[in-house]
Amino acid sequence: MSDFEGYLPPFLLENKVFSNLIESVEKNDFDKYDEALEDLLLQVFPQTATWALRLWEEFCGIITIEGLDVNIRRSKVMAKLSQVSPITPNIMKSMISKFTDGIVKIIQDTSQYSFFIDFQIKSKILNLKELYETIEYVKPAHLDYDLALNFNISNKKFYMTSCLICGETITVYPWSKKEIQSVGKFHIAAGNNSADERVTIYPRKEA
């Protein structure tokens, strides 16, 4: 007996037409309906919505970015919905905690009209652009803030990479020289004949 048959009175099960109708329905069809109802219940709340996030974003006037992390999209919806009530440190912490798998601390400095956000990052990579936009969106306009990102790399390898791209453009135009001149030094050897002559001078004799 299936779960569905357990809810029916016995006299209906004795009816051949009705019993054949029940047998024609696959046993797991009712389980599919239960799963569909449970999934639909998750879509009612933005904190657990998946495929219905697009509807929540449309309701809040947020542009849908399908490739964005689902937790970040939920945070943006929650930030929009939270505008009806004052933003407290706990509410802000709950929103921006979606950007990391570590610990988030918010320290207020009321005398300086600012606050400090401390991220203890374990492994999850932050989307800084979306993080800044979320903070600017939910924080009171008169407050300034500082942000610190602390990476815990004691048990993991940490890699930093950089890339430098450089290039050179050489343009060669067609050109040919019509007159060709040769310039150089020429060394020509030359020789002079030489001779010698012996002359003997004696004292002159007087005549």
Paired tokens of 102: 């570590």
The answer to whether residue 15 scores a pLDDT higher than 70 is: no
Contact of 138 with 82, CB cutoff 8 Å: yes
Within 13 Å of residue 185, how many CA atoms lie on the same side as its CB?
1
Single-letter amino acid, residue 173: Y
Judge whether 115 and 108 are in contact, CB under 8 Å. yes
Give me the percent of the chain exceeding a pLDDT of 70: 59
> Which helix (H) or strand (E) covers residue 80, if one does?
helix 70-81
Mean pLDDT in the chain? 75
User: Is residue 159 within 8 Å of residue 140, measured between CB atoms?
Assistant: no
Distance CA 48, CA 41 (A): 9
- What would the pLDDT profile of 158-207 be if each residue is shown by its tens digit? 566 666 677 777 776 776 666 666 666 656 555 555 556 665 666 655 54
Distance CA 102, CA 119 (A): 7
Q: Which of 158, 161, 141 is nearest to 149 (CA)?
A: 158
Q: Taking residues 98-125, what's their average pLDDT? A: 84
- CA dist 48 to 27, 31, 110, 113, 204, Å? 29, 21, 34, 34, 144
Mind listing the pLDDT tens digit for each residue in 123-152?
A: 776 778 888 888 887 788 788 999 888 877
What pLDDT score does 115 carry?
92
